[in-house]
Structure 1
Amino acid sequence: MADVELTIAPCKTSAGLPYQHLHIQITADNGLITPVDLKGLNLPKTLIPSQGVVIEGKAPIWLYGYLVHACHASAWVGCFDPRLGGNFPHSGGAVVIETHSPLVDVGQVIEVEIPDEFYSA
């Protein structure tokens, strides 16, 4: 799918918990996508289901819903919120929205940083 690019990067939380950062980039010239763009959209093959996933990027809520469902087999899934981070650049909180792991709880906010390769000021 040409209008959405999904990129994954291995990371660790500030507490040392390994996770994968799933970055969403809308690549359409006008910056917009439509629901039909979900057809054929797949997670990166390098995603490791035994780890958690933090989803981040500027995208419609229905794309986030699709990606949360697609990541369901992962140890846990969180959505990035920049308002919930520390007082340092690129930080935010990942709100855990589903888990199969005893290491995190639904509703827990995990402090994370956006990897440098995904950060855009």
Structure 2
Amino acid sequence: MGNIKFTSKEEREYTLISFEMDDLLSPEDLAAITPPNINGAKGVVLSGRGPIWLFCFLTHFYHPTKFIATYDPRLEGAVIVERHTSGYEIGSVIKC
């Protein structure tokens, strides 16, 4: 099983969830991954280098939050990919 380490940082509008992997993950590792719990009244920004299916898993895990965004260092911000409230538009970039 690959090892994944999560960190979380509370911001005003969102919680930044960052992850690092010490080794390669396998799809079957998803069953043992426990992402950190966060304040669902805020959005979540996901940041880290990993397989697309890991980002899909994390998006599903954090589905009940206000919005979900993925960090892109080239944009110096996070792109909103899912939302559950007005005021946040899919495809918009949150500077972070």
TM above 0.5, yes or no, is yes
Please state how far the C-alpha of 1:41 moved relative to its aligned partner: 1.1
Which position in structure 1 is the counterpart of 2:36? 44
TM-score normalized by the length of structure 2: 0.91
User: C-alpha distance in 2, partners of 1:4/1:43?
Assistant: 10
Matched length? 96
Gaps of 5+ in 2: none
**4+ residue stretches of structure 1 with deviation over 3 A?**
none
SS at match of 2:11: strand
Larger Rg: 1
SS at match of 1:54: strand
Gaps of 5+ in 1: 13-17, 85-91, 113-121
Aligned pairs (5 A) from 1:91-110: 92-110=76-94
SS at match of 2:53: helix
Q: CA RMSD in A?
A: 1.4
User: C-alpha distance in 1, partners of 2:5/2:29?
Assistant: 11
User: C-alpha distance in 2, partners of 1:53/1:105?
Assistant: 14
Please state how far the C-alpha of 1:2 moved relative to its aligned partner: 6.4
* 1:10 partnered with 2:10: yes
